[in-house]
């Protein structure tokens, strides 16, 4: 007989792999988010290098991990439907945010996420301006104003 064990509620628990950290449990799985256990000194060997340290703001005030949106799907849609020269950097930064999020580096993921969002907004704005310009040209000069009509001999 298989025995069903009740799942732990979402929250911070002692990390089973280290004595000085707690790890966040989503209710289904462990995340990469860790924090020091209160009252337990952190060993010198456990301090990460400054360039790989996670930001202190990777957890919310209630202790839950910060959720970073990577904007990968919106940036791809912007690439297809809007102004692609500005959507290419959006896809690049969204992919970098997704990669950093997968590594658990939320500080870097947040930085790239904000850049992806900026380029998505710029691409949507530029695409809207181009669409308004094309509608203006067609309404004022007809389809011939676009220069698409071939010469009739």
User: Is there a single domain that holds both residue 79 and residue 27?
Assistant: no
Predicted confidence at residue 55, as pLDDT, reads 44
12 φ, ψ to 5°? -90, 135
Predicted confidence at residue 41, as pLDDT, reads 61
User: Is there a single domain that holds both residue 110 and residue 85?
Assistant: yes
For the record, the structure tokens of 72 come out as 């990968």
* DSSP E strand stretches across 9-150: 11-14, 21-25, 30-36
Instruction: Report d(CA 28, CA 63) in Å as an integer.
Output: 17
For the record, the structure tokens of 54 come out as 């996670």
What domain range includes position 35? 11-58
User: Is there a single domain that holds both residue 51 and residue 22?
Assistant: yes
User: Is there a single domain that holds both residue 54 and residue 76?
Assistant: no
User: Is there a single domain that holds both residue 80 and residue 125?
Assistant: yes
Q: How many CA atoms lie within 13 A of 103 on its CB side?
A: 14
Q: How much is the average pLDDT of 83-105?
A: 84
Domain assignment present for residue 148? The answer is no
Domain assignment present for residue 5? The answer is no
Domain assignment present for residue 146? The answer is no
Q: How much is the average pLDDT of 35-49?
A: 61
Is pTM beyond 0.75? Reply is: no
Domain assignment present for residue 2? The answer is no
Predicted confidence at residue 61, as pLDDT, reads 61
Predicted confidence at residue 22, as pLDDT, reads 83
- Please state the domain count of the chain: 2
Domain assignment present for residue 104? The answer is yes
């Amino acid at each position: 007989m298989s025995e069903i064990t009740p799942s732990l509620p979402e929250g911070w628990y002692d990390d089973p792999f280290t004595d000085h950290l707690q790890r966040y449990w989503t209710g289904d799985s462990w995340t990469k988010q860790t924090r020091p256990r209160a009252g337990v000194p952190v060993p010198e060997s456990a301090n990460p290098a400054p360039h790989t340290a996670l930001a202190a703001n990777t957890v919310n005030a209630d202790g839950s991990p910060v959720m970073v949106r990577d904007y990968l799907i919106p940036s791809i849609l912007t690439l297809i439907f809007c102004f692609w020269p500005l959507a290419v950097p959006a896809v690049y930064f969204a992919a970098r945010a997704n990669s950093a999020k997968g590594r658990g580096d939320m500080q870097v993921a947040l930085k790239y996420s904000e850049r992806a969002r900026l380029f998505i907004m710029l691409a949507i704005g530029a695409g809207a301006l181009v669409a308004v310009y094309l509608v203006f040209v067609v309404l004022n000069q007809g389809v011939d104003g676009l220069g698409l009509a071939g010469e009739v001999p």
